[in-house]
Chains A and B, each alone.
Chain A
Amino acid sequence: MGRLKVLERAAGLAPGDHGSWAYDDDAGFHRAVTEYFAEGRDRGEQLVYVGNGPEGALADHLRGLGQRERLLDSGQLRLHSVQDIFDGTAPFDPAARAEEFWRQADQAVADGYPGLRLLGDVTALVADPAALPQLLDYEFGVDRLMAGSTATGLCAVDQRRAGNSWARAAAVHGIQHLTSGRSAFAVRLSGETVDLVGEVDIANTADLVALLEAVRRATRGPLRLRLADLDFIDVGGTRALALFEQDMAAHGRPVRFEQLSRAALRTLRLFGLGEAP
């Protein structure tokens, strides 16, 4: 599945990429959105910005985007207020939203674009404890189908409003932009195979627990948990894996740890987990 890719700039993304963008200042975020869509413009892609605020404000976020008016007039760039889509009157439906995403991706190709490039600001969902689990389900659902697709996706989260939950939304993505020196990991799902990549320590163990719970919801039956690209995991993080394995086994769902990195091997042995040496 590959290593965790940390983004410094919102550039260099290509079809099949699915990333997250955490931000804590508006001006910096608007520059990132502009750069992201400028790259998509140059590729000739269908651009969709689902942002926080009315459409007029979203257009203003992109005031630095060259040919903005032409892109809007031609329909190549479309703006949607996240409040219009998630108005809080109905629960967030992961399956329906994933279906809508892929419908838009297919429509973009049908309309003659090489692919869809979408940026969605999911802060409101991340900040809502009731909606966050559904958002994670949605992200898993999208992420497992992104590889090889013509779509490019970036999920943005305003750390100031999302609180500590922002890291959980980020960790469903193998590509992440971070604003602090904290450790980062990603949980990727492909069928019944889970890849845990990056770094797990005391700062993000609770996030790992939440993501494993989301994995449990999103899957059925036994799991393979691959750790080939896990660069660091401490005792506390490994204990979280051990508790997950124990609880899954108690429910008749064995978890097999495979492809242990050297870092993972050291701590997993402490808990009797992993492949025989």
Chain B
Amino acid sequence: MSGAPRTVGGWTGYGFAHEACVYDTDAAVRARVLPFVEEGLDRGEPVVVVAGDAVRHMLDAALGKRVDDLEVYAPSDSFWFGGHETLATYYESMQPLLEAGVPWRLVGEPTWLATPGGEVWSRFESVANVAFADFPYYSLCLHDRRRLDPALVRAQLRVHPTVWDGHQPVRSPDYQPTEAYLRSVEPAWSAPPAEHSTLGITDVVTARADLRGWLDTRTVPSRASEVLLAVYELVTNALRAAGAAEVAQWTDGMHVVWQISDGGPGFDDAIAGYVPPPPGLESGRGLWLARSLADDSTLRGTAAGTAVRLLFRHDEVVRRQMAG
């Protein structure tokens, strides 16, 4: 044994390591990725690669037939389904590796960061630090500075505990713990405006009919079914937790906001609803679904219980964006 592998710093195969490699030349990304992949293959570790065309072409040329030994070898474009679904897809693809119980390596290049809506992925990178903390893999995330807005690169440096300094993985000076990062990018938790509508719900039998009648006059028309499902799931959570739910609705700039609150025991878990539901049928999925349907969301434990805010863009805003 020669001690810790050279390309993964102090990672010994236990727990999750999460590195951002920001590069600006093809030579730089080759210098980081190729040894990382070759070392993994040499050690018999499963190696997963989800990357853009340039990185995969480089690996094709350098590895030759050895690309067939990669556990997964997929283009990044095939992996983007929005933040929630994409993290869930990663999670699902990891299940066989988790069951096998061996450490593995991942090269991930989230090229979707540069696409409309793709910036939300930084939140899920941050969530992975907590949700996958016990998973035995090293995730090397590639970011091409030539393609990404500087703000996106800065965000990546805040959500990866480790960065590549050109020679070795080092601690990221910009790293923020998950909860602090999420709170900094989620909608601010300001008081609702004085003018807002509320609906109290206590009857599980008529909950959805009550809600539908109320939402029909307030919803975002093109998203009506998504709004109903998302709000309804949180209402039923509240009814189970506290026996009563209150739904409030108001407009905040480009968004219509729905706040669902209850007087239950409450929790203030910033990553709740970001983490993919685990395998098995018993775990809750309502909050995850609600947050995935909304354009944005945030959650707070309050003195009274728990409150979740779901934000959906105005139809008019959506139309302008599509026309523009």
Contact = CB atoms under 8 A, between A and B. Distances in A.
A180 B236 contact: no
Given A181-B210, A232-B208, A266-B289, A201 B232 contact: yes
A270 B285 contact: yes
Contact of A181 (B209, B228, B277, B284): B209
Contact of A243 (B208, B277, B281): B281
B210 A263 contact: no
A202 B207 contact: yes
Interface string A158-192: 00000000000000000000001111000000000
Given A243-B281, A246-B281, A271-B281, A234 B233 contact: yes
Nearest to B204: A202
A234 B205 contact: no
- The B interface, classified by DSSP as helix, strand, loop or mixed, is helix
Interface size of B as a range: 20 to 34
A75 to B, nearest CB: 43
Contacts, number: 61
Given A183-B208, A202-B204, A270-B289, A236 B236 contact: yes
Contacts of B285: 235, 239, 270-271
A4 to B, nearest CB: 15
B206 interface: yes
Contacts of B226: 266
B167 to A, nearest CB: 43
Given A202-B236, A203-B204, A235-B233, A183 B286 contact: no
B275 interface: no
A229 B285 CA distance: 23
Given A181-B209, A235-B286, 19 more contacts: A180-B205, A181-B205, A182-B205, A182-B209, A201-B207, A202-B207, A202-B208, A202-B236, A203-B207, A232-B208, A234-B229, A235-B284, A262-B225, A266-B289, A267-B229, A267-B289, A270-B285, A271-B281, A271-B285
18 contacts: A180-B205, A180-B206, A181-B205, A181-B209, A199-B208, A201-B208, A202-B236, A202-B239, A232-B229, A234-B229, A234-B233, A234-B286, A235-B286, A243-B281, A246-B281, A266-B226, A266-B293, A271-B281
